[in-house]
């Protein structure tokens, strides 16, 4: 919700295009994701790393997942532009691209976070 909401807010704002808006929306969503993972998903785990060490690991893992996410997003946006989608389909294209990229990135991020960030 944070990612796609911010994307739609920024994509037509001055100084942004869909790609730069996506970078900004992902960065904000990644920060929110860290907090949600730390305090809800992996809250039951003992903390044996310092906060800074955990943050470094989290952002390293999620940067890799973000690169996959952004690649899938970009491919779908480019294919949609080439298909010259109109009206409702053109308006939904960013949402579809975020969903597809997010699904790939989320699976990658969860598996690596479970082992490298929040695991022993």
Per-residue pLDDT of the chain (120 residues; tens, 9 = 90+): 899 999 999 999 999 999 999 999 999 998 898 888 777 876 655 556 677 777 887 888 888 999 999 999 999 999 999 999 999 999 999 999 999 999 999 899 888 877 777 666
CA 114 vs. chain centroid, Å, equals 17
Structure tokens, 110: 């969860």
Q: Does the pTM of the predicted model rise above 0.75?
A: yes
- Helices 87-112, 2-10: axis angle to 10 degrees equals 140
- The helices-and-strands tally (H runs, E runs) of the chain is 4, 0
């Amino acid at each position: 919700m944070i990612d796609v909401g911010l994307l739609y807010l920024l994509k037509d704002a001055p100084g942004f295009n869909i790609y730069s808006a996506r970078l900004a929306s992902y960065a904000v969503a990644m920060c929110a994701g860290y907090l949600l993972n730390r305090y809800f998903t992996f809250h039951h785990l003992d903390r044996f790393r310092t906060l800074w060490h955990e943050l470094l690991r989290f952002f390293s893992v999620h940067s890799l997942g973000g690169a996959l996410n952004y690649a899938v997003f970009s491919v779908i946006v480019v294919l949609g532009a080439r298909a010259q989608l109109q009206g409702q389909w053109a308006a939904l294209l960013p949402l579809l691209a975020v969903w597809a990229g997010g699904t790939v990135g989320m699976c990658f991020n969860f598996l690596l976070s479970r082992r490298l960030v929040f695991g022993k």
